[in-house]
Structure formats: structure tokens, C-alpha cells
Amino acid sequence: MLSKRTKYGLKALAALARTNSRTPLQSSTIARDEGISVKFLESIMLNLRKAGYLGAKKGKGGGYYLMQDPKDIPLTDIIRLLEGPIALVPCVSLNYYEPCDDCRSEESCSIHRVMLKVRDSMLDVFRTHTVADLI
């Protein structure tokens, strides 16, 4: 299950991608439109901005705007940023690899191979879809 953090982040990006106007969108209006806690969304937006996906403008008429074309933001990037590993087991994660503490070796682990396949099939979807596909 995806965390609400990730879910909200994706929805916020989609909202920003939908408004192709130049004026920034405020986190409070996004929160209202999407049914998200304002403060919680704020922290997510901050996260996305620090990672370079969003720009921000303070004060009246301020808000957030996309720094890149939605087509150029694959979902893998956002999910890895907000959610963490995509893999179902740490030992098959590309970006968050960790050895499993219960396995003596990965070759002897019975679920390793299948989990690799699952990871690849999930990656296939997340890599080939971008924020633009959320519109």
C-alpha cells in the first residue's frame, strides 16, 4: 500500500500539471480541492521543492509551480522520493538495497527470484509513466 504522503504528492503534482497557466498554485487550494490536510501537504510540497521538482514563490500571489515539463517526470522518481523503495523486499531494491537479516544468502533465498520479477514489472509501469499521464 502506498503511503498517503506519496499519494498526496502525486495528486498535487497532477494538479499542478493540469493548470498550464503561469500563475503558481497555493498548497492551501490544492489541499482543499484534493481533500488533504493543509499542513501535511505543505510538508510534502516542501519535500518536492527541495528535490527540485517544484519551484516556490512566497507572499501574495505566490505558490508552487512545476520546474519541469510533466512529461519529463517519471513516476519512479516521485515514488522513490516520497515512498522509498519500490521493491517488496529490501534485497531486490535498486535504490534502497539492504540485505535481509533473515537470509543467509540471496541465492539460497526462495523468494528472491520472484521478487525480482515483481520489482521489474512494477518498475516497467512506473518508469514508462510520467506526471503528464496523471492528467
CA distances from 1 to 20, 56, 80, 83, 87 (A): 31, 30, 14, 10, 12
Backbone angles phi, psi at 64, to 5 degrees: -115, 150
Q: By the 8 A CB rule, do 132 and 20 touch? A: no
Residues 45-74 that bind DNA (CB under 7 A): 45-46, 49-50, 56-64
Per CB under 7 A, does 37 bind DNA?
A: yes
Per CB under 8 A, does 8 bind its own copies?
A: yes
Stretch that binds its own copies, among 19-27, 45-53, 62-70, 84-92 (CB under 8 A): 84-92
Q: Which is nearer to its own copies, 52 or 125 (CB)?
A: 125
Could you give the string, one character per residue 111-130, with x where binding to its own copies holds by CB under 8 A and - elsewhere?
x-xxx-xx--xx-xxx--x-
List of residues 6+ apart from 110 with CB closer than 8 A: none
From 14, 51, 56, 81, residue interacting with its own copies (rule: CB under 8 A): 14
**Residue 32 interacting entry, from its own copies, DNA, none, C-beta within 5 to 8 Å by type:** none
| CB of residue 48 to DNA, shortest distance in Å | 9
Q: Which is nearer to its own copies, 46 or 100 (CB)?
A: 100
- CA–CA gap between residue 93 and residue 43 (Å, rounded): 26
**Residue 34 interacting entry, from its own copies, DNA, none, C-beta within 5 to 8 Å by type:** its own copies
User: Cell 493548470 maps to which residue?
Assistant: 19
Question: Which of 64, 66, 67, 70 shows the shortest CA–CA distance to 24?
Answer: 64
